[in-house]
Amino acid sequence: MTDTPHTVDAIEAWSPETRLVHGGTMRSGFAETSEALFLTQSYVYASAEQAEERFKSESGGFIYSRYANPTVAMFEERMRLLEGAEAARATATGMAAVTSALLCVLKAGDHIVAARALFGSCRYVVEDLCPRFGIASTLVDGRDMNAWQKAVRPNTKAFFFETPANPTLDLVDISAVAEIAHAAGALVVVDNVFATPMLQKPLKHGADIVVYSATKHIDGQGRCLGGVVLGSAAYVKDHLHNFLKHTGPSLSPFNAWVMLKGLETLPLRVRAQCESATRIADHLAGRPEAKRVLFCGREDHPQAALARRQMTGPGQVVTFEIEGGKPAAFRFLNALRLIKISNNLGDAKSLVTHPATTTHQRLKPEARAELGISDGALRLSVGLEAWVDLAADIDAALAASNIG
pLDDT of residue 2: 58
Q: Among 22-31, 184-193, 213-222, 230-239, where is mean pLDDT lowest?
A: 22-31
Over 70: is that where the pLDDT of 7 sits? no
Would you say residue 5 has pLDDT above 60? no
Band of residue 10 on the pLDDT scale cut at 50, 70, 90: confident
Residue range 90-116, pLDDT digits in tens: 999 999 999 999 999 999 999 999 999
Confidence check: pLDDT of 311 > 70: yes
Confidence class of residue 367 from pLDDT cuts 50, 70 and 90?
confident
- pLDDT of 66 reads 95
Please tell me the predicted confidence (pLDDT) of residue 4.
55
Q: What is the structure's pLDDT at 364?
A: 87
Tell me: the pLDDT tens digits for 141-160?
Answer: 999 999 999 999 999 999 99
| 371-378 average pLDDT score | 94
pLDDT > 90: what percent of the chain?
A: 90
Average the pLDDT over 54-83 and give the result: 95
Q: Which domains does the chain have, with CATH numbers?
A: 2-262 (3.40.640.10), 266-401 (3.90.1150.10)
Residue 9: predicted pLDDT: 66
pLDDT at 3: 57
pLDDT of residue 223: 96
pLDDT at 202: 98
208 has a pLDDT exceeding 70: yes
* Mean pLDDT, residues 72-79 taken together: 98
Mean pLDDT over the full length of the chain: 95
Q: What pTM, to 2 d.p., does this model score?
A: 0.94
Rounded CA-CA distance 392/387 in Å is 9
pLDDT value for 294? 98
How distant, in Å, are the alpha carbons of 54, 219, 294, 358, 399 from that of 85?
26, 20, 31, 34, 47
Does the pLDDT of residue 297 top 80, yes or no? yes
Residue 343 neighbours by CB under 8 Å, 6+ apart: 353, 358, 359
